[in-house]
Amino acid sequence: MKRRFYSGRDVDRAHGIDDLREMARGRLPNFCFEYIEGGSDDEATLRRNRDVFDEIAFVPRTLVNVARRSTSSELFGKRIEAPFMIGPTGYSGMMFREGDVKMASAAAAAGVPFVLSNVSTVALEEVVRRAGGRIWMQVYLYRSRDAVAKLAARAQAAGVEALVVTTDSAVFGKREWDLRNYARPLQLTLRNKLDVLCHPRWMANVLWPSGMPRFANLGDLLPPGQNSVKGATVTLGRQLDPSLSWDDIAWLRGLWPGKLLVKGVMCAPDAQKAVQAGLDGIVLSNHGGRQLDGAVSAMDVLPEVVRQVDGRLAVMLDGGFRRGSDILKAMALGADAVLVGRATTWGLAAAGQPGVERALHILKTEIDRTLGLLGCCSVAGLDGSYLRWVGHGRMLSGQEGAAPSMRGRD
């Protein structure tokens, strides 16, 4: 019998993230699934984000008492129940009604932070009020700095813990497989229109009774009445600023009193600039393989970046994480936390909040099981000596893999 991932509707039968992916494929129309799935150009970066984990092998210990294990970690001086969080994923309201609230609520229940996307379809104040937990906010530095300042003021008033500035999208990558679903901008092909009609569950959940969801946190950027997900996309693209520089980060640092992170750093020299800018953290990210094709993965540069910053700010990363074991490989290399994107978005698309909760449960239990099999009782006990970079012919020393980090610091 041919192997198949589970693709039904019972979320409890999803044993891995790939099961949730198949469930999402069945529930979503093709154009929505492709939006989550695809990368830019030839998708070399997208593939690299996954392939890198096959190059890093574990070196387990034996005869270690692992009867008492802990998956928890610390981030900015506060406990998190697992060393990851839900990263910013746009258009969640197109995957499930009020998807942003459902993602945030699942994260709060699991004891991990949630990063609200700049292009969310629920107001940030509503997400904070209804979900609770540790809410961070993603921002883009649009041409209208006044709009950014107003969004930061709203976030501060709502109690948002951190701003995460995405900096790798001053120029849009070309996502060809996504574009092939459209006959012209914002107009689906006939085949895709017919495919939408074949997904009545999605239509009833997302489109009924008010039609396309609307962006809720971009009012100052969009013309009156032009805030629907469909109508606002072109306008937002024109608002992206290709002149963005570190001076703009300094401007935002001057007006935002909370934790401030830059997402999109991919080399040690830029990490050093982040230290000099007084940032609290960075997120190593190639935008999930959706921007520059042919780029290295965040895991490729993690060890050298950790050495460069030497514990002066938190180092986080995203890109291709599908297993708890992937997350532990990053932690052993010195990361402070991992951001997951597609994994929890597939959960949302598969079954709403229960699907996100299932994705988080899968990752947490995989982390616990992997720790036990490694002969290590805690995330904090990991270092590079538990890893071998296959093909490089070298052992990652404990010193290299566990350079000073922000874990446990304020």
What CATH number has the domain bearing residue 269? 3.20.20.70
> 71-103 burial string, b = 16+ CB within 10 Å, else e?
bbbbbbeeebebbbbbbbbbbbbbbbbbbbbbb
* 267 belongs to a structural domain: yes
In this structure, is the dihedral angle defined by the CA atoms of residues 286, 290, 292 and 297, taken in order, positive or negative? positive
Stretch (H or E) spanning 260: strand 259-265
Asked if 256 and 152 count as a contact pair (C-beta separation under 8 A), the reply is yes
pLDDT of residue 400: 46
* 220 belongs to a structural domain: no
Question: Structural domain of residue 126, as residue ranges?
Answer: 15-174+238-401
d(C-alpha 41, C-alpha 36), whole Å: 15
d(C-alpha 92, C-alpha 242), whole Å: 26
Asked if 359 and 101 count as a contact pair (C-beta separation under 8 A), the reply is no
273 CB-near residues (< 8 Å, 6+ apart): 246
* 203 belongs to a structural domain: no
410 residues of the chain, pLDDT tens digit each: 899 999 999 999 999 999 999 999 999 999 999 999 999 999 999 999 999 999 999 999 999 999 999 999 999 999 999 999 999 998 999 999 999 999 999 999 999 999 999 999 999 999 999 999 999 999 998 888 888 999 999 999 999 999 999 999 888 899 999 999 999 888 999 999 999 999 999 999 999 988 889 888 887 776 666 666 765 566 666 777 788 999 999 999 999 999 999 999 999 999 999 999 999 999 999 999 999 999 999 999 999 999 999 999 999 999 999 999 999 999 999 999 999 999 999 999 999 999 999 999 999 999 999 999 999 999 999 999 999 998 654 445 444 444 455 555 44
Asked if 87 and 112 count as a contact pair (C-beta separation under 8 A), the reply is no
d(C-alpha 388, C-alpha 59), whole Å: 7
pLDDT of residue 402: 46
* 180 belongs to a structural domain: no
d(C-alpha 384, C-alpha 268), whole Å: 19
* 207 belongs to a structural domain: no
DSSP 8-state symbol, 289 = G
Amino acid in the structure at residue 58: F
Point out the catalytic residue in the list 15, 199, 287, 361.
287
pLDDT of residue 243: 87
d(C-alpha 342, C-alpha 17), whole Å: 9
Asked if 33 and 349 count as a contact pair (C-beta separation under 8 A), the reply is yes
Task: Kindly provide the residue ranges of all beta strands, DSSP E only, lying in 104-144, ordered along the sequence.
Answer: 114-116, 135-139
pLDDT of residue 235: 61
Backbone angles phi, psi at 228, to 5 degrees: -70, 155
Question: If you search the block for the tokens 């699907």, which residue do you land on?
Answer: 355
d(C-alpha 27, C-alpha 23), whole Å: 6
Please give the structure tokens belonging to residue 410: 């304020």
CB neighbourhood size of 192 (10 A): 18
Is 392 in the active site? no
* 185 belongs to a structural domain: no
Stretch (H or E) spanning 261: strand 259-265
Query: What one-character-per-residue DSSP string does 50-84 give?
Result: HHHHHTEEE----S---SS-B--EEETTEEESSSE
* 57 belongs to a structural domain: yes
Number of domains in the chain: 1
In this structure, is the dihedral angle defined by the CA atoms of residues 120, 122, 128 and 131, taken in order, positive or negative? negative
Q: Is the pTM of this model over 0.85?
A: yes
Question: If you search the block for the tokens 């107003």, which residue do you land on?
Answer: 150
* 223 belongs to a structural domain: no
Asked if 61 and 374 count as a contact pair (C-beta separation under 8 A), the reply is yes
